Structure 1
Amino acid sequence: MQKTSEDRHEYRFGDNGPKYLIRGPGCDMGVVVLQPGQSFPNHRHHQACEVFYTLSGEVCLYLEGTPHTLRAGDVLQCEPGEAHYLINNSDVPWKGVFVKSPHLQNDSHPAEPAAW
């Protein structure tokens, strides 16, 4: 069993980026924030799938180059090998939950192009 609280963890880039709440053994889970105008680089996972669930705001998630707008309550699953890039084109922060499964070290790889 693992139990934690979001306030015990920090975002990777201060007030934005991913914040891992659980890392393994079966999956990784956390929250991610993108401030207006911010993006997260295009990348893929060779073996893990990644699911995004929007809590608030709006984000454009490019999946293999195809844009998908995610609003509060929307969920999108990226299969292993699918390149995905997120950008917040709105004027309010976007906050979502992400889950990657299975838990694997070093399974995140840059994808080209870096952005769409």
Structure 2
Amino acid sequence: MKKVNEREFEYRFGDNGPKYLTKGPNVDLGVVVLKPGQDFPNHYHTVCEEVFYILEGNIDFYINGEQVKTEPGDMIQCSPGDTHYLINTSSTTFKAIFIKSPHIAENDSVVIEKPDVS
């Protein structure tokens, strides 16, 4: 059994980016925040699947280069190899839960060039 509170953890980039609430042994779970104008690098995972559940705000996901607009209540599921890029073009803060499974002890992310968002 494990119990934690989001307030106990820090975002990767100070006040934004991902914040892991648990890493392993079977699954990773956390929250991600992007403020207006912020983005997160285009990347994919070689082994794990990643699921996002949108809590607040709107964001543009680019999955395999295709734009997918989201709103609170939406779920996005990325299979291994699916590239995913997030950019907040709205005027409000975006917040989502992310789940990665299975947990991979080493870095499973491969950062690649951003998709054409024009």
TM-score (norm 2): 0.95
Q: Which amino acid aligns with 2:109?
A: S
| 1:1-116 correspondence runs (5 A) | 1-104=1-104, 105-111=106-112, 113-116=113-116
Q: Distance in 1 between matches of 2:107 and 2:95?
A: 24
Question: How far has the Cα of 1:114 moved from its partner?
Answer: 2.5
- 4+ residue runs of structure 1 moved beyond 3 angstroms? none
Task: Decide whether the 8 Å contact of 1:27 with 1:102 is kept in 2.
Answer: yes
**2:12 is matched by which residue type in structure 1?**
R
Deviation per CA, 1:31-63, whole angstroms, max 9, x where unpaired? Answer: 000000000000000000000110000001100
Partner Cα separation in structure 2 for residue 86 and residue 73 of structure 1: 17
TM-score by structure 1 length?
Answer: 0.96
CA shift digits 1:73-111 (9 cap, x unpaired): 000100001110000000010000000000002101112
1:85 maps to amino acid = Y
Aligned with 2:7: secondary structure? Answer: helix
Q: Distance in 2 between matches of 1:89 and 1:3?
A: 34
Identity between Structure 1 and Structure 2 (%): 52
* Distance (Å, rounded) in 2 between the aligned partners of 1:37 and 1:22: 28
Work out the CA distance in 1 between the residues paired with 2:92 and 2:115: 21
Aligned-residue Cα RMSD (Å) equals 0.8
Structure 1 residue 115, shift from structure 2 partner? 4.0
Unaligned 5+ residue runs, structure 2? none
